[in-house]
Amino acid sequence: MNASRSTPTSGDSSVAAAVELPVRKGVGKKQFGTQLHASTIARLDWIKKRGYVISKTVDDAVNAWLDSAGVPRPDEHGRMPEVPSNQT
């Protein structure tokens, strides 16, 4: 992926780790709608104004959170693993 590494230019940079912000490229997507805090939208607008792709950034963030929560990933066909009957 040809993306630049970036850290915030203002705020407490000692807390923020460097992340890779993706550049635009075509991928299969589905609509996802939600409401976010105004401060989150402001941060997304900040990276958008610098030419980065919001949808990929949000997708990566949601997947990182789901991974850390132990949610399994779907297989290559988009199917989620079956939940054992004792966990429903």
**pLDDT tens digits for range 12-48:** 555 556 787 777 666 677 888 889 999 999 999 999 9
Domains of the chain: which residue ranges? 36-70
Task: Kindly report whether the global pTM for this prediction surpasses the value 0.95.
Answer: no
Per-residue pLDDT tens over the stretch 42-84:
999 999 999 988 888 899 999 999 999 999 999 988 899 988 7
Report helix, strand or coil for 70. coil
Element (H or E) spanning 19, and its range?
Answer: strand 19-20
10 Å CB burial of residue 44 (0-12, 13-18, 19+) is middle
The residue whose two tokens read 């850290």 is 7
The one-letter amino acid code at 58 reads V
